[in-house]
Homo-oligomer: A and B are copies of this chain.
């Protein structure tokens, strides 16, 4: 297992290949631009955290049809030999503009735009949506948890109930981008150099004759790194056992790191546990909590006065349970030097190659985003999409994970609190530039091809 697990060009929907064969037969080799963005139907997210680009770039760079891929397509009997010959030499030679990982962006803003000969641009749709959609969804969910925790450290516990093996690994990376402090996922720790965290399960405690023995044995194995799980039998009794062993450790010159709660009313229990620990002089022992946490439960227990120092955040965050998919789409916005616009109700696609310009105020705080044309210049703003691939080659090596994480930290700090709170729903101001608006109007005004005179859903112009 490495940083990137190359999937190959067959990681695609079958229609991408049949369309490609159609284009090939019609000699439709001109360049097209596709734009990736997230529609916000469900209104469950007001901002997003870009993630997944590194995977996309790695996949495109390496994409080749292997001999066995070609043989497999041959057996379908559907594809002409000439098209298969073309696939054998297939390489990505296009251009990619993208918002860097860790950057905050908003609904309808292009996250990535790809310009390449039509077949190439079409073939990568599925991989790009899969990679950017899932990782952005998780980085966003993680950012919401970070905001709710208000400075308390969070640890990723999602691996066991993540949707598959790749999801488990990507959750660790995406949550680390959004500021999680550590992960329980050992493989992700190894691959991405993320700090590890974790101590014991209930089964550990039950494997011993009693809880005191279990803690005591653990303390001897990990004198510097013990966190005792105190709710296997009874939390109060468990805290007393932790105190006994904690004091024994103290007398040996070691210090108990913490105790962990994994059930019950966390706000109430954490206060009772804190008092027992403090009364015993163990005020340095931290209280960790896990079990069912997401941004909503974290905010709730904190608001109710919980004395919790750090949270283990697992399943609900790892599958983004309240919104388990994003309405992320990949739309053709330009072909053969003509811009293309989609107009069906509630599903506008902005024609043309675009740029997002972020206007910032004093101290760097974000004021508004202007979606403009790729070429224009908006004074006092920073363009968010960077050219990352040119002629099929990386423009420069991608940023390291710590750099991406720091990019998120700065971005999130620059976003006003009112846009982060999940209840208030203040919407960050986004507008279209005058030039982009004009371009949309020109596109819409292009000659209609429909014969019945009704408004078209799509326009080429």
Chain A residues within 8 Å of B, Cβ to Cβ: 1, 5, 7-8, 10-19, 21-23, 25-26, 28, 32, 34, 68-69, 72, 76, 78, 80, 118, 122, 125-126, 129-131, 133-134, 157, 159-170, 184-187, 189-190, 196-207, 209-210, 217-218, 220-222, 225, 232-234, 237, 263, 315-316, 319-321, 324-326, 328, 331-332, 335, 340, 342, 344, 449-452, 454, 456-458, 460
Contacts and interface: CB of A to CB of B under 8 A. Distances in A.
Contacts of A340: 206
B5 A5 contact: yes
B450 A234 contact: yes
A7 B13 contact: no
A138 B454 CA distance: 42
7 contacts: A11-B187, A126-B159, A134-B163, A164-B164, A209-B449, A233-B457, A263-B344
A338 to B, nearest CB: 10
B133 A17 contact: no
Contacts of A166: 164-167
A233 B386 CA distance: 33
A19 B218 CA distance: 8
Contacts of A134: 161-164
A162 B163 contact: yes
Given A166-B165, A190-B69, A196-B76, A202 B458 contact: yes
A237 B454 CA distance: 10
A118 to B, nearest CB: 7
A203 B190 CA distance: 41
A81 to B, nearest CB: 13
B160 A13 contact: yes
Copies in the complex: 2
A397 to B, nearest CB: 23
Nearest to A160: B129
Given A186-B12, A207-B332, A18 B222 contact: yes
Contacts of A159: 11-13, 126, 130
Most buried by B among A1, A12, A68, A163: A163
4 closest residue pairs by CB, A with B: A14-B198, A15-B198, A164-B166, A163-B163
Nearest to A336: B207
B458 A18 contact: no
A13 B185 contact: yes
A206 B460 contact: yes
A112 to B, nearest CB: 14
A125 B184 CA distance: 13
Contact of A319 (B197, B210, B324): B324
A218 B12 CA distance: 19
Given A69-B190, A222-B78, A130 B161 contact: yes
A118 B207 contact: yes
Contacts of A328: 161
A18 B198 contact: yes
Most buried by B among A25, A26, A32, A206: A206
Given A163-B324, A457-B234, A18 B207 contact: no
Contacts of A118: 207
B26 A217 contact: yes
